[in-house]
Amino acid sequence: MEEPLLQARLEKLARLRAEGIDPYPPRAPRVEPIGYVISCYSGLEPEERSGERASIAGRIMAIRRMGKASFFDLRDGTGKIQLHAASDVLGEEEYKRLRSCDIGDFISVTGEVFRTKRGELTVELEGWKFLSKALRPLPEKWHGLKDVELRYRHRSLDLIANAEVREKFVRRSRMIAAIRRFLDRRGFLEVETPIMQPIAGGATARPFVTHHNALDIDLYLRVAPELYLKRLIIGGLEQVYELGKNFRNEGISTEHNPEFTTLEIYEAYSDYEGMMTLAEELISESAREVLGETKITYQGETIDLAPPWRRVGLLDAVEAATGITASGKSAAEILSQARKKGIALPEDLSRGKLIEKLFEDFVEPTLIQPTIVRDYPIEISPLAKRKPGDDDLVERFELFIGGMEVANAFTELNDPLDQRARFEAQERLRESGDEEAQRIDEDFLFALEHGMPPTGGIGFGIDRLAMLLTDSPSIREVILFPTLKGKKEGR
């Protein structure tokens, strides 16, 4: 079906060129945004004419041909407006050429603004110009694009066909701008650190690897910018943040995409308590700026982002949900308790991993309202500072909203000897087959040995925050070009 339509449009393209008309001129005439025109003439009554002319440009979204007169719907990035074209105004040749346009073509027009008898704001065409010929029809007769795989693979069509998709990405962009303004007002400095790194550090994750031909070395797409941002703290840049891409060679789900956007923030002379307050203020203020309020609806649940948020210890949350006591217990003792309660757990996991598994299965899905879960096992937190009075725990928290993790924060480890020992423990895990374990980063340790002040650090999942503020069930709904499988034959 599509090829005959393509051929017909190619023939129209050829006719335009034969008539001396450039179907892809290098520039458009000066025009006003359609949304601005709509706002200027919103007070017109039915059948009232403004006596004023407007010049606008956009994509033709609908055509209603009626002999000597035709109606068009024209849309740009700010709105949609109706056009009325008549042969006795444009002349027979220009009117015929305009009628031969297809849905999807771009044109610019000039004419008087009026409101029809039915109340539709309309531009009475007095002149027009061709701007760009669309060779393929818009999807599904322009009533919407529903095939999920096609929507993600051909995002341009998705944006054309679905107004709610365009609004999601506009909201995401405004959220990011609001976050930047929040941090800039508080004296934080936005910085950039390497995407390609000689050691994939700063997070427990499996990296992507590439090769630098000129240097003949393997490099890794970063899994986190953390170790570079801490070097800036050491160097005296005491409030820094980076908003950018990370890459983790892991599974794809509704909450995971291999390429994703994070915000990492580090502040000297702060700690994880300071990061809790910062998280409350950053998210609530950004939501208020973007949405006008702090209450959101996410997948049928009403969530209030206004602080203060609930705070709970990780071990307490696990015990409350499962009845298993983890504090002061070994891996064997935790497994024994789980078996007695009929809870199946992998028997090859460390104590910290067992606690993490129980939390993910029994607690995390229940955390709908903003909840700060604090104080994590040291085995799963190699970059966080020990909690005073309890060597098994570190000062770390994760923030959960809508049943998913949206932030991870530490009182940063600044003892170089302790950090080296933690890295060495991670290396042993790698040797035993854990591809996500971290490596020893000698350059980072060298910097750390020169002294780092007490520091608080936090990382936010920007895509997940966008999911919350747009009520999107999947991370792929808020990433313009998510990672997909290879293209199927014929698609």
- For residue 165, what are the β-bridge partners? none
Q: Is the pLDDT of residue 145 over 70?
A: no
- pLDDT score for 223: 95
Distance CA 63, CA 408 (A): 52
Distance CA 296, CA 291 (A): 9
> Which pair of tokens denotes residue 444?
């980072």
361-372 residue pLDDT tens:
999 999 999 999
407-457 residue pLDDT tens:
999 999 999 999 999 889 888 887 777 777 788 999 999 999 999 999 999
- Average pLDDT of span 282-307: 97
Q: Is the pLDDT of residue 46 over 90?
A: yes
- Average pLDDT of span 241-261: 94
Task: List all residues 6 or more positions away from 146 whose beta carbon is below 8 Å from its beta carbon.
Answer: 140
Helix, strand, or coil here: 221? strand
- pLDDT score for 140: 64
352-400 residue pLDDT tens:
999 999 999 999 999 999 999 999 999 888 889 999 999 899 999 999 9
23-40 residue pLDDT tens:
999 999 999 999 999 999
3 pLDDT tier (thresholds 50, 70, 90) = confident
Distance CA 177, CA 187 (A): 16
Buried b (16+ CB within 10 A) or exposed e, 183-201: beeeebeebebeeebebbb
488 pLDDT tier (thresholds 50, 70, 90) = low
> Which pair of tokens denotes residue 423?
């890295």
Using CA atoms, how far residue 463 sits from 304, 361, 370, 409, in Å, is: 19, 22, 17, 17
Residue type, 66: M
Please state the three-class secondary structure of 438-486 as a single string: CCCCHHHHHHHCCCCCCEEEEEEEHHHHHHHHHCCCCHHHCCCCCCCCC
Mean pLDDT, rounded, of the chain: 94
- pLDDT score for 146: 64
Q: Is the pLDDT of residue 141 over 50?
A: no
pTM above 0.85, yes or no: yes
- pLDDT score for 431: 79
Nearest to 134 by CA among 71, 61, 35: 61
Judge contact between 123 and 80, C-beta under 8 A: no
Using CA atoms, how far residue 101 sits from 76, 94, 108, 353, in Å, is: 17, 11, 12, 63
